[in-house]
Amino acid sequence: MIVPPELSSATVLTLVSGAEKRRDLWSSKQEAYKLMKSRGVWKSWDDRVLRTYVEYGLRHLPTATYPHETKGVTLKCTSIQEAVRSRSMAS
């Protein structure tokens, strides 16, 4: 998550809550793109940016976070990493 430094702590904590609850598993990059394209802030992204995000911001399973998942993709930056970083910004 990239946020400007002038955001209030309350706003950042709201973003943290969203990061902790956000879906982070998809059956494929194609599925992730399709769902992201139709939801949330991703709807407003330029299609080239969204395609680049899906290509380089997702990785194949299994991962340390999901060692038992053998098929699909997840975010390279886990929701836990995003939330911890954002919490430190709110302090």
Span 58-91, pLDDT tens digits: 999 999 989 999 999 999 987 777 666 655 655 5
Position 3 in a domain: no
**Mean predicted confidence (pLDDT) in 26-31:** 98
Q: Which two tokens stand for residue 24?
A: 């982070």
pTM: 0.71
Cα distance between residue 55 and residue 73, in whole Å: 11
Q: What angle do CA 42, 38, 79 make, to 5 degrees?
A: 50
**Please, are residues 89 and 12 in contact by the beta-carbon 8 Å criterion?**
yes
Tally of domains in the chain: 1
Position 1 in a domain: no
Cα distance between residue 87 and residue 7, in whole Å: 12
Position 80 in a domain: yes
